Amino acid sequence: MKLFDVYPVNNITITKAQGSYVWDENGVQYLDMYGGHAVISIGHTHPHWVKRIEDQLEKIAFYSNSINIPLQVELAEKLGKVSGKEDYQLFLCNSGAEANENALKLASFHNGKKKIVAFSKSFHGRTSLAVAATDNKNIVAPVNETDNIIFLPFNDEAALQECFEKNGKQISSVIVEGIQGVGGINIANDSFLKLIRTLCDKYNAVYIADSVQCGYGRSGQFFSHDYAGVNADVYTMAKGMGNGFPIGGILIAPHIKPKHGMLGTTFGGNHLACAAALAVLEVIEEENLISMAKQRGMYLINKLKSIDAIKNVRGKGLMIGFDVPEELKDLKKKLLFDHFIFTGEAKPNVIRLLPSLAITRKQVDEFLDALNDTIAAMKEEQKVEA
Ligand SMILES: Cc1ncc(COP(=O)(O)O)c(C=O)c1O
């Protein structure tokens, strides 16, 4: 049997990882400024995370949600404390798409309505409703197409206002990333998020903060939506939550009431996943990683802004993007194959930086030096060619 070939891969085999570095099968060391797509929050193979998972593995790895799982309660308490959303409720699942799928469904159960407002350049995952609310026709299968999604331009307050005035009675939820990731690092304006809050209150709609990529401390706040000073009704989370151990979840505001059987999953909230997620929160707290992400991010953004060759540097915390001009279009490839640095991208011309929140200043400088060297070398090559 062969693999179903859906991923365009780099021909690199990673066999070891630690902190912000990974190593390939030949022992070549790479700096990871990509975090395996914003997943590595506390650093690869953090010793506390490894130990907590190993210890749990010796006890029990899995049992279904038909029994008491005290680790889930412990996780809910810790998450409430670290996120500052102590009065919220936690539902655990396994991935970002699943978190969004459950959030959209829950909203509809809650208010009995059907329409969902989503925005241009959004990415919410690949399950049925999540993909329908994603602004990319290429990944929406005919069976996922629905009239229930209304797409509006991101950050367009007038369009949002008008849409609610026209369809408010039918709108069940608004789903929005605080900082769009796959869309290319686009920050939602505070006033835009505040307007979503106001309109959701006025029309009894559910504000869903997709925090799968921009959440869990990555932005320098636990949720990037916190910058706007608003509380969403539902926060969806995954990526950084398990530092690579698959786990997702949704935080649900107290006014949304549960009912037995309303949501469910076999694997969600299993013992091993909870142990991994608890280890992540313990390290975030212990190593002060949210404020570290803010500091390192500010330093990195300021340094990037001083590089003339790259454009439109933007982001918050360690969720950063910049535009790469046409003459440097191979920059990402050169960083990887000449300087052994992983970065992320967003089509057509954005480089995305999503390193571990525990990246050190020295590692950030290592990246900046390599970036400056690569740009200088590319410019030199172009001069010679011309
Ligand atoms: C904002 C956002 N939401 C949802 C998802 C889907 O998460 P998953 O791939 O875990 O299903 C992603 C993944 O990139 C994402 O960036």
Residue 263: CB atoms within 10 Å:
19
The overall average pLDDT reported for the chain is 97
User: What tokens does 306 get?
Assistant: 């001083």
Taking the centre of ligand 1 as the mean of its atom positions, its distance from the CA of residue 378, in whole angstroms, is 33
Give mean pLDDT, residues 65-90: 98
Q: What is the pLDDT of residue 329?
A: 95
Residue 44 DSSP label: B
pLDDT on residue 382: 87
Query: In this predicted structure, what is the pLDDT of residue 386?
Result: 78
pLDDT at 384 over 90: no
User: Is the beta carbon of 95 within 6 A of some atom in ligand 1?
Assistant: yes
Q: Which of 7, 6, 26, 4 is nearest to 15 (CA)?
A: 26
CB atoms within 10 A of CB 375: 19
Which ligand 1 atom is at minimum distance from the Cα of 182?
16
Question: Can you tell me which residue has the tokens 């608003």?
Answer: 230
Residue 208: CB within 6 Å of ligand 1?
no
Provide mean pLDDT across the span 318-333: 97
Neighbours of 167 (CB within 10 A): 15
Q: Is residue 188 a contact partner of residue 154, using CB atoms and an 8 Å limit?
A: yes
- Domain spans in the chain, listed from the N-terminal domain onward: 47-287, 289-385
- In this structure, the residue with its CA closest to atom 3 of ligand 1 is 124
Residue 87: band (very low, low, confident or very high) from pLDDT cuts 50, 70, 90: very high
Phi-psi region of 3 (alpha: psi -120 to 50; beta: other; left: phi over 0): beta
Cβ 355 vs Cβ 35: under 8 Å: yes
What average pLDDT does this structure show over 298-325?
98
Nearest atom in ligand 1 to 100's CA: 4
SS3 of residue 299 by DSSP: helix
Q: What is the structure's pLDDT at 385?
A: 81
What SS3 class is residue 290? helix
- Report d(CA 357, CA 17) in Å as an integer: 15
How many angstroms separate the most distant Cα atoms in the chain? 71
Average pLDDT rounded to a whole number, residues 268-293? 98
The predicted-structure confidence for 125-169, as pLDDT tens digits, reads as follows: 999 999 999 999 999 999 999 999 999 999 999 999 999 999 999
Structure confidence by residue, pLDDT tens digits, 233-246: 999 999 999 999 99
pTM: 0.98
Does the domain spanning 47-287 belong to CATH 3.40.50.9100?
no
Q: How confident is the model at residue 64 (pLDDT cuts 50, 70, 90)?
A: very high
364, 343 in Cβ contact below 8 A?
Answer: no
CA distance between the termini of the chain: 49
State if residue 182 touches ligand 1 by the CB under 6 angstroms criterion. yes
199 close to 205: Cβ distance less than 8 angstroms: yes
Tell me, what's the pLDDT at 299?
A: 98
Give the pLDDT of residue 304: 98
Q: Which fold has domain 289-385?
A: Aspartate Aminotransferase, domain 1 (3.90.1150)
Residue 174 is encoded by which pair of tokens? 């608004």
Task: Please tell me the number of Cα atoms within 13 Å of 141 on its side-chain side.
Answer: 7
Name the pairing type of β-strands 319-323 and 341-342: unpaired
pLDDT at 161: 98
Report how far ligand 1's centroid is from the alpha carbon of 181 (Å).
Answer: 9
Write down the pLDDT at residue 383.
84
| Residue 121, ligand 1, Cβ within 6 A | no
Our answer on whether the CB atom of 181 is closer than 6 Å to any ligand 1 atom is yes
Closest CA to 237 of 125, 320, 69: 125
Looking up tokens 């001009």, which residue turns up? 325
Question: For 104-130, how does the pLDDT look when each residue is reduced to its tens digit (9 = 90+)?
Answer: 999 999 999 999 999 999 999 999 999
Instruction: Reply yes or no: is the peptide bond before residue 8 cis, omega within 30 of 0.
Output: no
Spatial contact of 280 and 213, defined as CB atoms under 8 Å apart: no
DSSP, residue by residue, 71-127 = HHHHHHHHHHHHHT-TT-EEEEESSHHHHHHHHHHHHHHHH---EEEEETT----SS
Report the C-alpha gap between 212 and 248 in whole angstroms. 8
72, pLDDT greater than 90? yes
Are the CB atoms for 263 and 105 separated by under 8 Å? yes
Atom of ligand 1 nearest to the CA of 97: 11
Q: Above 90 in pLDDT, residue 268?
A: yes
